Amino acid sequence: MTMKSRAPLFESLHSHHAAQVLSFHVPGHKSRAGQLGDADRYYHDILKIDMTEISGLDDLHHPEEVIREAQELAADCFGAEETYFLVGGSTSGNLALLTASCRRGELVLVQRDAHKSVLHGLMLAGARAVFITPRVCKRTGLKLGVALEDLKLAMARYPEAKGLFITNPSYYGVAADIGALANLLHDHGKWLLVDEAHGAHFGFHPALPGNAMAAGADAAVQSTHKMLTSMTMGAMLHVQGERINRAALKKALAMLQSSSPSYPIMASLDLSRKMMHEHGEASINAGLQAVHTFNDWIKSQSGWGIGQVVGGNGIMQDPFKLALYDRTGRLSGYALKEALERHGCFAELADPVFALLVFSLASTVQDAERLVQALAEIDLACEEPPPARPWTEFDITTFGDETISEPVAFDLDTVLAADQDEIEYVPLEQCEGRIAAEMIVPYPPGIPILHQGEAICAGVAAYLERLADLGSRFHGHDVTAHRTLPVLSTGSTGPA
């Protein structure tokens, strides 16, 4: 057996259970089902490996044995110098990276459509951010990432910036060629951090983009649970080079992750890595068969389409992410998602135009065939007349008018100490020009449309009205339910 074919953490958990030892330690279930009634059959096996930091099972926060070995194998598999297992999803990795890499008041360049965890990391660090709005595909409205020319302009305007934090790929699977960004930043002594949550499978097949480590990123966070096979909340943080303070990073991870990390989640990370080490390309091929089956059918249809970006400059699209839309304009993305659910097929998310379908290496041809059947039935049953303005004409891209923002200060104290007396709730149609009092976050995907302290422009206000009309879900203030936005009262200065 080669090292790559081992799963040291899972093997140790299996051996410990097989030894039939008695537990006089936590957790309280003692690795036995029996207290959960009808749910016992769901938990019976997983509880056998739901352990804690005892002899032979190592400690995530001070790994010396099997967890250390599992993380070293992961680093080898994903092309990093060092890899850390995460049990709080990519969120915990993003928080830790920014907390470790920024001091209070320091400036960071940030891709504007960052996940809310990136903004929370800026708050924890007390950093300032200059946002760079990503370029957009004019055909689909999908984001193409930060352009090299825009990064050059931002660096010239703000030479004191510590580095750049980007999201690559996007939630919709659009991946930029980030090697040129890394080279430019490194030439100026700056780091590149990548939220690669949706790209854990990248680099394992010629049909997929390369991963951030291969492109030269200093650190990348991957949600192994999203596009590979670990349990939900299982993620990895990969690091290389000398630009990231690893001692500070380890301290941040210790503060931001549970002191009682889930062994089933960590073991699933170990097993997912083992599968990719042994069968990466073959595993991807199996999932691509399902994608090809579905795409072949779509090409024969006049009523359904898949959003394909046009970007050039090394832009690629993850074949496992399919942005499905109704070519006839009868169904919005939201309505299409709901129709699919009525036929037993659940999409990842919807927006005014698309219902996002996520395939993976675990998808089967049978899955694709059932999806085809569902869409055929939806097509026959749909009696909606085409709207005067087709959904496919809606602009879903605007974050405002500036490609490069002014510096925005992030401060956790300001957020937590927000005085309700300084906040008004203003109807959407009246909020242009006002200052947002909190982040406005449609979820999924969890990308803030507004952040606290940002001026509300006409395009953003109109977009939020459209989302509310279509029933979008929001974290925090529910724009759809209230049809208002929280804004600072006239005369309030808001965050400094």
Whether 199 contacts 211, CB under 8 Å: yes
Whether 454 contacts 491, CB under 8 Å: no
Q: From CA 9, how far away is CA 386, in angstroms rounded?
A: 56
Q: Is residue 314 predicted with pLDDT exceeding 70? A: yes
Q: Is residue 373 predicted with pLDDT exceeding 90? A: yes
**Mean of pLDDT values over 161-190:** 98
pLDDT digits (tens, 9 = 90+) for 107-143: 999 999 999 999 999 999 999 999 999 999 988 989 9
pLDDT at residue 325, rounded to an integer:
96
Residues 6+ apart with CB under 8 A from 299: none
Residues 6+ apart with CB under 8 A from 321: 169, 172, 173, 198, 356, 357, 358, 359
Is residue 417 packed enough to be buried (19+ CB in 10 Å), middle (13-18) or exposed (0-12)?
Answer: exposed
Predicted TM-score (pTM) of this structure: 0.94
Whether 201 contacts 173, CB under 8 Å: no
Q: Using 50, 70 and 90 to split pLDDT, how confident is the model at 96? A: very high
Q: Using 50, 70 and 90 to split pLDDT, how confident is the model at 401? A: low
Whether 428 contacts 461, CB under 8 Å: yes
Q: Using 50, 70 and 90 to split pLDDT, how confident is the model at 312? A: confident
Share of the chain above pLDDT 90, in %: 78
Q: Is residue 90 predicted with pLDDT exceeding 90? A: yes
3-state secondary structure labels for all residues of 193-260: EEECCCCCCCCCCCCCCCCHHHHCCCEEEECHHHHCCCCCCCEEEEECCCCCCHHHHHHHHHHHCCCC
pLDDT at residue 491, rounded to an integer:
52
Q: From CA 13, how far away is CA 51, in angstroms rounded?
A: 8
More confident: 77 or 394: 77
Q: Is residue 495 predicted with pLDDT exceeding 50? A: no
pLDDT digits (tens, 9 = 90+) for 211-222: 999 999 999 999
Q: Is residue 244 predicted with pLDDT exceeding 50? A: yes
pLDDT at residue 452, rounded to an integer:
83
Grouping H, G, I as helix, E, B as strand and the rest as coil, residue 480 is: helix
Q: From CA 318, how far away is CA 320, in angstroms rounded?
A: 5
Q: Is residue 398 predicted with pLDDT exceeding 80? A: no
**Mean of pLDDT values over 301-316:** 88
Buried b / exposed e over 9-35, threshold 16 CB at 10 Å, is: bbbbbeebeeeeeeeeeeeeeebebee
Q: Which of 119, 182, 178, 177 is nearest to 449 (CA)?
A: 119
pLDDT digits (tens, 9 = 90+) for 415-474: 776 666 788 999 999 999 999 988 999 988 889 999 888 889 888 888 898 888 888 889
Q: Using 50, 70 and 90 to split pLDDT, how confident is the model at 496? A: very low
pLDDT digits (tens, 9 = 90+) for 277-302: 999 999 999 999 999 999 999 999 99
Whether 322 contacts 340, CB under 8 Å: no
Per the prediction, the chain carries an average pLDDT of: 93
Q: Poorest-confidence range of 100-114, 379-393, 414-428, 474-488?
A: 379-393
Strand pairing report for 163-167 and 191-195: parallel
**Mean of pLDDT values over 183-201:** 99
Residue 237: strand pairing partners: 84, 221
Q: From CA 117, how far away is CA 414, in angstroms rounded?
A: 17
For the domain spanning 418-488, the CATH number is: 3.90.105.10
**Mean of pLDDT values over 252-270:** 98
Whether 46 contacts 232, CB under 8 Å: no
Q: Looking at domain 280-381, does it have CATH number 3.40.50.720?
A: no
Q: How far apart are the first and last CA of the chain?
A: 59
pLDDT at residue 219, rounded to an integer:
99
For the domain made up of 3-278, give the CATH fold: Aspartate Aminotransferase; domain 2 (3.40.640)
pLDDT digits (tens, 9 = 90+) for 345-355: 999 999 989 99
Domain boundaries, the chain: 3-278, 280-381, 418-488
Residue 210: both structure tokens together: 């390369």
Residue 448: both structure tokens together: 């803030």
Residues 6+ apart with CB under 8 A from 480: 467, 468, 471, 472, 473, 474
Q: Is residue 171 predicted with pLDDT exceeding 80? A: yes
Q: From CA 270, how far away is CA 74, in angstroms rounded?
A: 8
Q: From CA 446, how far away is CA 273, in angstroms rounded?
A: 27
